[in-house]
Structure 1
Amino acid sequence: MRSLLARACSALAVLTVVTGATAPATASAAPSAPAPAPGAAPRAPFSCAGDILLSAGLETTRLHRGVAVTGGLSFTPIGPPSARYDAIGLNPADRYTYAIRSQGPGWNLLRIDDAGAVTDLGTVGLPTPILGLGAYTAGAFDTAGNFYVAGGSDNLLQRIDVNTRTFTTVTLSQNLGGVDDFTYRGGYLWGVSATGALTRIDPATGTVTVYAAVVPPSVTGYGGAFTYGNGDLGFLDNAGLLRRVSVTDPLTPVFRLLSTQTTVAVSGNVDATSCFVAATDLGVVKTGPATVRPGGTVTYRLRVTNHGPGPSSGWTLTDQIPAGLTDAATTSPGCSVTGGNLSCAGGALAVGAHTDVTVTGTAGPGTPSFVNTANVRGNDPDPNPANDSSTATTRVADLTITKRQEGPATVDPGAKVTYTITVTNDGPLAYTAGDPASITDDLSRVLDDARYNGDARATSGTVRYDNPELFWSGALAPGASATVTFSVTVNARTFGNLKLDNTVVSDIPGSNCPEGSRDARCTTHGKVKAKDKDKAEKPVEDTRKDTAAHTAKGPRD
């Protein structure tokens, strides 16, 4: 029996509907003695309606039936306590659960029915595991009905024929090294050690492959493993957490940690198995605003719907929040946002029923659009994966301002200098009379060497001057522009610093010219020719680039 610390949650094996049976093992075989005739005939097999079966106990073992609920799993006991057993798995051929007795004479094969009643089928003649705890702790069936068990630390895998109660030994290419449980999926057995590394076992050849850091490390270890109806893998952290992992291809796997859920706290000799056979088409539709202004709130609604034909036993919803959408949060039950990822765990969902999840964030600056995709993963086999994902796109408002000084960059005393400011709504939002676009142009650094001519005009909107600032505001449809022009006349004799520096700003979210912007399109730099030698020596060298026009457009949507 594994220690309480190492077995707070344990071996989950599962009935899956993944195609392909395991080829017969070719490793060395150890003959086994025939078992005695089975005991009393069991009652009904398990319905395989998506429950998860958990066995636990110190001196005796009792079966529990679990169901997915919002945020995790809930268990209730079924059947009376019985002799202690371990390494359980559910046989897809007859839908009974089988286990290895962990006390008493020999390593007897047990059969368990849907009421939790245990039938002792007698000894199989298994050898005692050499390494680890000296007991069989990991168990799983393949799709052909072969029952695989192992001690979790040595390099021997036992394949049991539950009908003849005989076994074959498969020698592995390396020790399992702390894999307390494994599960079958796509021709391989999969298990996780306390380090978070995932181990893949080929039961046909005995080849063991280890993939580092697939799940977070665990102080107490991973005691249980199972396969969801859709092929995802579930690994139980003994501390009471369930890690759900997707595998793109068993032969050349790419892993993704989909969710972390809460499980019930249990103690003692713990093991589990689960059963998913009924097809359920879950789909998700994500909706959100088509447009938003920088700094605005974006709210997405994710609707999970069961399209049938069977009821859903549970589901996981994931959504990677796009970069630039800050302060992402959710108040939906069973959901959390961690490290920019939304993760939700939901319970049963009847045919035709739906549930909604919302997540909000703030549109940060400098992002032209947010493309956001949500994915739903049902616990049950899904006949229509095409509707398992949904994408919403939100464009961010964009206002481009360009200012230029007409004519040469250096002008004579007494010359007239004309400025042109172009304001363009790059969309997608319209600026209206009630919510207009606007700019402010502070002429302070020009008026020490020139005077405003009072001739500001605009092609649309309203322009006004309040010394020393020029203001414009107006409606702009997406794609429309407004042009503002005005002029100054350079002083003939009295000068300031001989520089005509001028910057336009806008407090409209999405503008390229906010206060403090370094966008060259927002500023013009002009100079006044010195009238005499004394004046020519006084101005301080300006290290900024002199230019008369800044009309080049920067990066755009």
Structure 2
Amino acid sequence: MVNHRRPALRRVLTGAAIGLVLAVTGPAGLAQAGTGAASTATGTAAAKARAVCPPTTLWANTGGGARNLIQYDTTGNTLSTAPLVRDYGDIAFSPNGSTLYGVDFPGTAGSTTLYAINPVTGGETASAPITGPLAAVTSVPAVNGLTSRADGTLIAGSFNTSQIFLIDPTTGVSTLFPVSFPAGVVSAGDFITLDDGDILAFGAASSTSPSPVFRIRPDNTIIQIGTVPQTFGAAKSAGSVYAFASNGDINLLNSLPTTASTAVLPVTTVEATGRGFYGATSTQDAGTCVTPAYTIAKTAKPGRAVDEGDTITYKVTVKNTGTTAASGNFTDDLSDVLDDAALVPGSVTSTTGSATVADETLTWTGTLAPGATATVTYKVKVNAPDTGDRRLVNAAAPTAPGGTCATSRACTVTIKVNKTEDCDEPGHGKPGHHHGDKPNHGRDDDYGHEDEDSMRK
């Protein structure tokens, strides 16, 4: 059989094709399959069309000299990057998105391992040896296709055999899947549960040829539907499938025929990354509709009105409100603040992730675990005299999929700069008299935000 090793890609890579796997998580350790054991059938019920999910992010792992876990949006923008411990032949999320799995590549016969990976840090949190027929594949198991099914079991493929396998993520026990690739074809890197219930499988007939693409029906029949550029991983978002090619391209498959064909499938390259992909996944590969979700909320202190020379402290809180790791990226437009104030040097801080200011825009990037929060703070000092419009208005805006404002007004802060003539109390301008000397006199010392209409009242 042909040795389907990865070709050189700007550097020598010994990796395997990408795979996507999702499995249901248990209370601790590796995920627990929903059935408790690996099923040996794909199911004989007729395929049922699934509702199209909202967009989700795409995750990929690279290997060789640059081992990273990279999160992309569906236009190819990089949302986050974390270093990885080792080469993984493929990665896969559990069906609810709470656990990310990886399989060491190429592995050693009898000692291949399934790992749980922290998608925020890239570190390994648990491991289990894989046993059964997959572990016995010679000369090395070379798992390069991994994806979860809705019941929590994992589908896995190898470039050293045409057989396809199931893995129970709780025990690591593998069994034979009832379907194999045709003779002479091995796994190239992934399996995706389509919205119509079929499983999309990427194969390899040689180490350099395009990847044949197959549909596996619920009745355990398999047909080839076309070919795509050599693919080492795939991920699904909102019903669309993205193939991660051996040359580093992220390709959107424009067509997924339902009838047999060996024709070239049309693709659109959404990003030519040049990276050495080893695998890919998303939280929707198992046919589930898990999507990232996070909120942002912005406050300031003082929160409504200030005097010339005052310092304002802004705070933006980002919270992951979903069940899967998510980027909480946002921008904060400071252009209408900096015409009345100056950013205090060294005042930009973040509890996690990275916050920078450039061209009058603050940008925060970071990935958060479910329920986790990040707090970004910065300070500005109001000019004295203030020659601007005397209104500091700024709004934070989410820039990653699933981001929203915590409330309709949570992302915007408007602050007025008091004028001297605004105060008509006796004694104004005398030593010791200041707008802040009396409670609520033109000031609000609590964190707060309000829209411009309320400021005019």
Which residue of structure 1 aligns with residue 103 of structure 2?
55
The alpha carbon displacement at 1:77 in A equals 0.9
Q: What letter corresponds to residue 149 of structure 2 in structure 1?
A: N
Q: TM-score, normalised by structure 2?
A: 0.55
Q: What letter corresponds to residue 138 of structure 1 in structure 2?
A: D
Alignment of 1:326-365 (within 5 A): 326=343, 329-337=348-356, 340-349=362-371, 355-362=373-380
Alignment of 1:155-166 (within 5 A): 156-161=212-217, 163-166=218-221
C-alpha contact 1:317 1:374 (8 A) present in aligned 2 = no
Question: Residue 180 of structure 1: SS of its match in structure 2?
Answer: strand
Q: What letter corresponds to residue 317 of structure 2 in structure 1?
A: L
Q: What letter corresponds to residue 177 of structure 2 in structure 1?
A: L
Which residue of structure 2 aligns with residue 397 of structure 1?
417
C-alpha contact 1:288 1:393 (8 A) present in aligned 2 = yes
Structure number with bigger Rg: 1
Q: What letter corresponds to residue 221 of structure 1 in structure 2?
A: G
C-alpha contact 2:147 2:156 (8 A) present in aligned 1 = yes
The alpha carbon displacement at 1:109 in A equals 1.2
Identity of aligned residues (%): 13
Question: Residue 53 of structure 1: SS of its match in structure 2?
Answer: strand
C-alpha contact 2:317 2:374 (8 A) present in aligned 1 = yes
Flag the 1:276–1:145 CA change in 2: closer, same or farther, 3 A: closer
Which residue of structure 1 aligns with residue 165 of structure 2?
110
Q: Distance in 1 between matches of 2:149 and 2:193?
A: 6
Question: Residue 256 of structure 2: SS of its match in structure 1?
Answer: coil
Q: Distance in 2 between matches of 1:288 and 1:8?
A: 50
Matched, 1:226 2:281: yes
C-alpha contact 1:51 1:274 (8 A) present in aligned 2 = no
Q: Distance in 2 between matches of 1:211 and 1:279?
A: 21
Deviations 1:493-543 (A, max 9, x none): xxxxxxxxxxxxxxxxxxxxxxxxxxxxxxxxxxxxxxxxxxxxxxxxxxx
Deviations 1:159-202 (A, max 9, x none): 223x5443211225xx42x5421112223201345887532113
Larger RCO: Structure 1 or Structure 2 (Cα < 8 Å, ≥ 6 residues apart)? 2
Deviations 1:306-360 (A, max 9, x none): 5xxxx844343222021446567323034444764112322243xxxx7451321
C-alpha contact 2:157 2:163 (8 A) present in aligned 1 = yes
Q: Distance in 2 between matches of 1:121 and 1:151?
A: 15
Match of 2:332 among 293, 311, 321: 321
C-alpha contact 2:231 2:245 (8 A) present in aligned 1 = yes
Question: Residue 12 of structure 1: SS of its match in structure 2?
Answer: coil
The alpha carbon displacement at 1:110 in A equals 0.6
Q: Distance in 2 between matches of 1:57 and 1:386?
A: 41
Q: Distance in 2 between matches of 1:179 and 1:318?
A: 29
Q: Distance in 1 between matches of 2:415 and 2:248?
A: 39
Q: What letter corresponds to residue 75 of structure 1 in structure 2?
A: T
Which residue of structure 2 aligns with residue 89 of structure 1?
147
Flag the 1:127–1:80 CA change in 2: closer, same or farther, 3 A: closer
Which residue of structure 1 aligns with residue 450 of structure 2?
none
The alpha carbon displacement at 1:435 in A equals 8.0
Flag the 1:72–1:332 CA change in 2: closer, same or farther, 3 A: farther
| Greater strand share, structure number | 1
Q: Distance in 2 between matches of 1:321 and 1:195?
A: 36
Q: TM-score, normalised by structure 1?
A: 0.46
C-alpha contact 1:284 1:305 (8 A) present in aligned 2 = no
Q: Distance in 2 between matches of 1:391 and 1:185?
A: 27
Matched, 1:299 2:314: yes
Match of 1:11 among 10, 19, 28: 19
C-alpha contact 2:188 2:232 (8 A) present in aligned 1 = no
When the two structures are aligned, how many residues end up with a matched partner?
Answer: 317
Q: Distance in 2 between matches of 1:300 and 1:73?
A: 30
Q: Distance in 2 between matches of 1:223 and 1:65?
A: 17
Q: Distance in 2 between matches of 1:314 and 1:74?
A: 15
Flag the 1:397–1:103 CA change in 2: closer, same or farther, 3 A: same
